[in-house]
Every structure is written in C-alpha cells, then in structure tokens.
A and B are shown apart, each in its own frame.
Chain A
Amino acid sequence: MFESVTSVALESALDGLALRQRAIANNIANVNTPGYQAERVSFEDTLAQSVRTGDGHATATTARSMEPTRLDGSNVNMDTETLSNIDTVLRYQFATQAASGTLNGIRTALRSN
C-alpha cells in the first residue's frame, strides 16, 4: 500500500527537495566565503527514469558548480539561489499535499459506510 510507485516516488521527491533546500541554504550562507563553489542537487531525471521502470526510488546527488569564483569571493549567484529556493519550497509544498491526498483517500475509504 505504501510501497506503490507513487508513494515511493513522492517520498524520494521530498528527500531530494529537502536536500536541495539545504544545498541552497549552504550556498547562501557562503555567498561571501572566498573560494566557495555553489552546490547543485539533481534527482528529477533519475526519478523520472525510476518511475518509468515501475520502481520509484531515486537518490539525489550533489555536484559543485564549476563557474569561476569572484575575486576574494564565492561563485554563488544570489538571484539564482533565491529563485531556486522559492521553486524548491513550492515543489515541496506540492509533494506534501500529494502525499497527504493519497493517505487521506485511504482514510476516507476506511471510514465510508
């Protein structure tokens, strides 16, 4: 029941988005740290692939941005991070709602007369 492709995929998405949220927090925390390279989290492609094969599990991966750093600074682009942060929050909110929807659906079925 909780092992359906949808349930597993939603949980993988939540894990990936939470990791991305932390990577963004780390990037913004180090926006003024000399030599710091921004982190990027990926999981959407792996997740889509996994769902296609009827699985749903996907592990998120982190990579460093190879863009050049500013003089005595990081390579973090504040605007990019801000937009990404807002995007991540919205997707996370959606995923929690979707997960809730499935759970509440089962509850409704259990309580129907």
Chain B
Amino acid sequence: MPLDAIGIAGTALTVHRKWLDAVADNLSNINTATATTDDAFRARYVLAQAGGEDTGVYVAGTELGDAAGRVVHEPSHPLADENGNVRYPDIDYSEQMGSLIMAQRGYQANAAVVDRAKETYQAALQIGRN
C-alpha cells in the first residue's frame, strides 16, 4: 500500500531519530572503560535502507563496532587487569560528531517535508469550496 508524502517523511523521522539515539549513546560512552576480560563498549551504527515503491526508508539492521577496542595501560583504573590494562571503545569523536550533524540535518529536512505536504493537503481541501 503506497504511502503519501507525510507517511514517507514519517519513516525518515523514525530512522533519523534512531540514528541520533545511537550516536548520542556512542558519544556518551566514549570513555567507558571495561576489563580486558570483557568486550569493549561497541559503537552502534544504524543501517538505513530504502523501502520499495516510494515507501521511504527503514532501519535494515544495526552494526556494532569493534569488540576489541583500544587496550590502554592505566594501572590506577579499578578495572585494570594484572598488567594494568583496560579496554576503551574504538570510537572516533569527530566521526561521531559528523554523524550527529548529518542525522540532525536529515531529521530537520524531513520535518520540513511534512510541513510542505500539509500545505498541499490544505490546497486540495479548498477545491470547490464556496
């Protein structure tokens, strides 16, 4: 069943919202240390895919970042192992900031599509009005 412009934009708002949530989560955990016996905090990447037949976009899946992360020598850390090492996530701050900006712009652009679609609906409703 085909979607109208508002429906299509709606799917994109959902995807971009999930993207923003993932990036925000990645950024807030950029300094989360884990023991070397565990995985590092793994960054979340949202995979977007176009729906068929003008149905907008949807999240096809999520990719997780590197489990090994970066091993850092920090003996004072409570989670440090016998060698004084802890794991930090393999997350690049500037890359995440770049994603944040793109996700935000994308969200706003799709919100604007909804506004314009609303204008066409209002015009259509005026047809034949006295």
The finding on whether chains A and B are genuine partners in a shared complex, rather than unrelated, reads yes
Binding site for B on A (CB under 8 A): 14, 17-18, 21-26, 28-34, 36, 39, 78, 82, 85-86, 88-89, 92-93, 96-97, 99-100, 103-104, 107
**Interface secondary structure of A, over-half rule:** helix
B12 within 8 A of A: yes
Binding site for A on B (CB under 8 A): 2-6, 8-9, 11-12, 15-16, 19, 48-50, 54-57, 102-103, 105-106, 109-110, 112-113, 116-117, 119-120, 123-124, 126-130
Q: Are B109 and A96 in contact (CB under 8 A)?
A: no
**Which chain B residue shows the least CB distance to A29?**
B12
Contacts A100-B126, A103-B128, A104-B130 given: A30-B120 contact, CB under 8 Å? Answer: no
Contacts A93-B120, A107-B130 given: A25-B8 contact, CB under 8 Å? Answer: yes
The smallest beta-carbon distance between B20 and chain A, in angstroms, is 12
Q: Are B48 and A30 in contact (CB under 8 A)?
A: yes
